[in-house]
Amino acid sequence: MARTKSFDPDTALRKAMQLFWRQGYEATSVDDLVHAMGINRASLYGTFGDKKKLFLNALERYIETVLTPRLDALEVARSPLDGLRSLFAELAAFGAGDPQRRGCLVVNTSCELGSRDAEVAARLRAHGEAMEARLVRIVARAQDEGEVALDRDPRTLAQGLYALIDGLRVRSKLGAEGADLGRISDIALAILG
């Protein structure tokens, strides 16, 4: 008969995600994880597999719970341009207001593991392609609604927005002030002009 887990796997995964987000993959030990998650090693390995599998699950959870809702809200905004303004304002406010200066788990992972781990790189590429495709749809909708000139290539604009989103996250991790992050947001919106 299977034993009942004495912990909630979703809560434990959320705690692991927070720890990886703060410390990164390499700087997080299994001891750090079991302590933060409030479980023992056997439970960690039995439920999540090894550290890397746990990390990939945590990365996926981050994408699902932190990034995807922001993009969902952006896609249903009454005005695509207002939605983009709100997104950049939110990212700037979060970056300036986060005392831990975590940045973005996806961007942090890209810098730490993107060129050294093929499995992680493949996951990051898939996320990047999906995010870019959503930004292309948002820019195209803004063009359809007369908010962005029709002579601009939606894919190129989306790629520029995506690069500025990542840049804003890196700058926030490095301690940029809110005003600096706000100027990056202004530049992002100006490229749509």
pLDDT of 56-95, one tens digit each? 999 999 999 999 999 999 889 999 999 999 999 999 999 9
Contacts (Cβ under 8 Å, ≥6 apart) of 60: 123
Whole-angstrom Cα distance, residue 174 to residue 95? Answer: 10
1 pLDDT more than 90: no
Q: Is residue 143 part of a domain?
A: yes
pTM assigned to the model: 0.89
Q: Is residue 63 part of a domain?
A: yes
Cα 136–Cα 117–Cα 39 angle in degrees, nearest 5: 100
- Burial bucket for residue 68 (CB in 10 Å: 0-12, 13-18, 19+): middle
Domain with 180 in it: what CATH number? Answer: 1.10.357.10
pLDDT of 140-151, one tens digit each? 999 999 999 999
Burial 147-178 (b: 16+ CB within 10 A, else e): ebeeeeebeebbebbbebbbebbbbbbeebee
Which residue is associated with the tokens 């989103």?
A: 165
Structure tokens at 173: 């991790």
Q: Is residue 167 part of a domain?
A: yes
Question: Which pLDDT value is given to residue 188?
Answer: 87
Q: What share of the chain in percent tops pLDDT 90?
A: 83
Task: Estimate the crossing angle of helix 154-173 against helix 178-190, to 10 degrees.
Answer: 170
Cα 36–Cα 40–Cα 45 angle in degrees, nearest 5: 100
Question: For the chain, how many structural domains are there in total?
Answer: 1
129: domain range?
58-190
Contact (Cβ atoms closer than 8 angstroms) between residue 121 and residue 131: no
Task: Estimate the crossing angle of helix 80-97 against helix 178-190, to 10 degrees.
Answer: 160
Structure tokens at 149: 């000139």
Q: Is residue 5 part of a domain?
A: no
